[in-house]
Amino acid sequence: MGTNNDYIIYVENIVKKYDNGRTVALDHCDLKINQGQVVAIIGSSGSGKSTMLRSLNLLEMPTSGKIFFKGTELTSKKIDVDSHRQKMGMVFQHFNLFPHMTVLENITMAPVILKIQTKQEAEKSAMKLLERVGLTEKANVYPNMLSGGQKQRIAIVRALAMEPEVMLFDEPTSALDPEMVGEVLDVMKELAADGMTMIVVTHEMGFAREVADEIVFMSEGRIIEKGTPKQIFENPKNQRTKNFIDKVL
Amino acid sequence: MFWDWWQNLFVDMSSINFFNFSFLPRYGYAVIQGVEYTLILSVISVLLAVLPALMLAMMRISRHKTVRCLSGAYIAAFRSTPILVQLMIIYYGVFSVIRVPKFLIFGFIDSTRFIPGVVALALNSSAYVAEIFRAGILAVDSGQMEAARSLGLSQAQSMRLVILPQAVKNVLPALANEVITMVKESSVCMVLGMAEIMFTAQTIGGSTYISIGPYMLAAFIYFAITYPTSKVIERVERRMRRGDKQ
Ligand SMILES: Nc1ncnc2c1ncn2[C@@H]1O[C@H](COP(=O)(O)OP(=O)(O)O)[C@@H](O)[C@H]1O
Ligand SMILES: [Mg+2]
């Protein structure tokens, strides 16, 4: 065996059912992700992309199947999921910043509470991260004072403050006004260039094509086709993939 | 015969009697103490209810069915029986076993009556406040819990640092309304001889033979406390909601 050790994330045959089995959100999916890889998950709405992503850090517990993170089975009953979640940052469509905390508190809260850094250390690294996304002057404001694009960049920084080994993005630009999409994608591109392992659910086909190493196309809870952007966008094998690509391009 | 009765009927119901406050010069001080008693009783009852209510609310949204049911049973029991019955059972049941030492609270409140009364009201109130808290917690966007958990915080840490601070803000108006409800409900404590507004009115009626006036005054006092307060709370609530949207 040992195969699951070769990958940073290894998903084996997962199934997720809702409503006592009436809804099958994930239908026997496998996924293997290498260290430093950028994977884009595409597919129409309701195809199970979010469920797949949220299963990776066990925000959703799969009904069956196994998920390994660096060789450790997360789906095992014995595991302390909280400590593994620290290593998997997540960015949400609707930002989910904490409205009762300033930007700086949003970023430093988790590392301080989880005793990964002292308050001073956390603030220092938070300011460095804010500088990277060009938002140092927003450190002491509350999230309601920020634009959508700024909120999402802060949300990315908040996740990065935990020094994760994987970043999960669930449609990070879908709730943004069009003119703000670029600033968030730029941050993500930089992150990819720095070698971060990223799994991105997205409708931004341009981004997927340019940045992703692998594209995963999902439909009705199944992974229909995987491949390089070139394969998927220019030469899809499956008819459903073809239809989807024709529709979105 | 009939005419005597007919005429007396109108004499008794004349507005003179409704608004006969001639007892005030003599009993004004007692009335003021009655008001103080009621306010102290209701505020302390709701404050005491906060912690048990928080616990009940957490139990209510627990993953474990037994825990959920325990809390649900408590809430159902206290919300589905009259507060008067609860007061009697707690006073004659629980506090016949537990003896409360006799002393004066704030210089005029008899502890042997006040403490059982406050405990009964607090137990009752915690059932209602628990539902307020539960609604407040559920009103916090589920994405907040997910964001906290995705950072590696435990369920309890997420609750304490992310969900509850937001929930508390949501429930403050409802909590203030609960105090208003308690101001009115605490009138049941008159049956234990607790010298709050209603008991004072009854005592004055008994010793002056002015039967309606004291109760009319009690009604005015309750109204004067609760109505303006609830209007203020409504305004604060509206302003808070507008603040959220920004
Ligand atoms: N919490 C839930 N309860 C019930 N059904 C759900 C839940 N979450 C997702 N689903 C269902 O699972 C399917 C996949 O949803 P999702 O993963 O959100 O799709 P996508 O992100 O691709 O739009 C949909 O049919 C959706 O209705
Ligand atoms: Mg989705």
Is residue B161 within 8 Å of A109, Cβ to Cβ? yes
pLDDT of residue B36: 97
In angstroms, rounded to a whole number, what is the distance separating the alpha carbons of residues B179 and B111? Answer: 21
Ligand 1 contact via A18 beta carbon (within 6 Å)? yes
- Give residue-wise pLDDT tens across range A17-38: 999 999 999 999 999 999 999 9
Kindly give the distance from the C-alpha atom of residue B244 to the centroid of ligand 2, in angstroms, as a whole number.
26
pLDDT of residue B243: 66
b/e sequence A114-150, b meaning 16+ C-beta within 10 Å: beebeeeebbebbeebbebbebeebbeebbeebebbb
Kindly state the average pLDDT of the residues B158-187: 94
Chain A residues close to B165, C-beta within 8 Å: 100
pTM score of the predicted model: 0.85
Residue with tokens 């968030």: A184
**H or E element in which residue A170 lies:** strand A166-170
Measured from the Cα of A43, ligand 1's closest atom is: 22
- Give residue-wise pLDDT tens across range A53-81: 999 999 999 999 999 999 999 999 888 99
Q: Which two tokens stand for residue B175?
A: 């909590």
In angstroms, rounded to a whole number, what is the distance separating the alpha carbons of residues A199 and A226? Answer: 13
Ligand 1 contact via A48 beta carbon (within 6 Å)? yes
The residue whose CA is least distant from atom 2 of ligand 1 is: A18
The residue whose CA is least distant from atom 21 of ligand 1 is: A50
Listed in order, strand segments (DSSP E) in B59-188 are 104-105, 109-110
CA geometry: angle B190, B193, B197, nearest 5 deg: 45
Q: Is A83 on the interface with B (CB under 8 A)?
A: yes
Chain A residues close to B169, C-beta within 8 Å: 100
Kindly state the average pLDDT of the residues A162-184: 96
User: Would you call A180 helix, strand, or coil by DSSP?
Assistant: helix
Q: Which two tokens stand for residue B151?
A: 């950072």
pLDDT of residue B16: 60
In angstroms, rounded to a whole number, what is the distance separating the alpha carbons of residues A203 and B179? Answer: 51
Q: Identify the closest residue of chain A to B146 by CA–CA distance.
A: A59
Instruction: Report CB contact under 8 Å: B149, A85.
Output: yes
Interface predicted TM-score (ipTM) of this complex, two decimals: 0.93
| Band of pLDDT at residue B210, cut at 50, 70 and 90 | confident
In angstroms, rounded to a whole number, what is the distance separating the alpha carbons of residues A103 and B89? Answer: 52
Kindly state the average pLDDT of the residues A223-248: 95
Q: Is B142 on the interface with A (CB under 8 A)?
A: no
| Band of pLDDT at residue B211, cut at 50, 70 and 90 | confident
| Band of pLDDT at residue B246, cut at 50, 70 and 90 | very low
Q: Which amino acid, B84? A: L
| Band of pLDDT at residue B169, cut at 50, 70 and 90 | confident
Q: Which two tokens stand for residue A161?
A: 């403050």
- In chain B, the percentage of residues whose pLDDT exceeds 70 is 95
In angstroms, rounded to a whole number, what is the distance separating the alpha carbons of residues A158 and A146? Answer: 15
pLDDT at A109 over 80: yes
In angstroms, rounded to a whole number, what is the distance separating the alpha carbons of residues A41 and A248? Answer: 14
Chain A residues close to B141, C-beta within 8 Å: 96
Q: Is B81 on the interface with A (CB under 8 A)?
A: no
| Band of pLDDT at residue B4, cut at 50, 70 and 90 | confident
- Give residue-wise pLDDT tens across range B18-72: 888 888 989 999 999 999 999 999 999 999 999 999 999 999 999 899 999 999 9
The residue whose CA is least distant from atom 8 of ligand 1 is: A51
pLDDT of residue A78: 87
- Give residue-wise pLDDT tens across range B90-111: 999 999 999 999 999 999 999 9
Ligand 1 contact via A45 beta carbon (within 6 Å)? yes
| Band of pLDDT at residue B15, cut at 50, 70 and 90 | low
| Band of pLDDT at residue B14, cut at 50, 70 and 90 | low
pLDDT at A143 over 60: yes
Q: Measured in Å, how far apart are chain A's first and last C-alpha atoms? A: 41
Instruction: Report CB contact under 8 Å: B141, A113.
Output: no
Ligand 1 contact via A98 beta carbon (within 6 Å)? no
Is residue A228 within 8 Å of A80, Cβ to Cβ? no
Kindly state the average pLDDT of the residues A124-148: 96
Q: Is B166 on the interface with A (CB under 8 A)?
A: yes
Spatial neighbors of A2 by CB under 8 A, at least 6 apart, are none
What residues of chain A, 15 to 44, have a C-beta less than 8 Å from chain B?
none
Alpha helices in A28-115 (DSSP H): 49-56, 81-85, 103-113
pLDDT at B240 over 90: no
Closest CA to B144 of B159, B130, B129, B134: B159
pLDDT of residue A1: 45
From A16, A44, A51, mutation site for ligand 1 pocket: most ligand atoms within 8 A of C-beta: A51
Residue A43 Ramachandran class (φ > 0 left, ψ -120 to 50 alpha, else beta): left
Q: Identify the closest residue of chain B to A155 by CA–CA distance.
A: B147
DSSP code, position B101: P
Q: Which amino acid, A232? A: I
Beta-bridge mates of residue A168? A90, A199
Residue with tokens 């404590």: B189
Mutation test of the interface with chain B: which of A96, A108, A152, choosing the one with the most B Cβ atoms within 10 A?
Answer: A96
Kindly give the distance from the C-alpha atom of residue A174 to the centroid of ligand 2, in angstroms, as a whole number.
10
Listed in order, strand segments (DSSP E) in A36-81 are 38-42, 64-69, 72-73
pLDDT at A119 over 60: yes
Kindly state the average pLDDT of the residues B181-190: 96
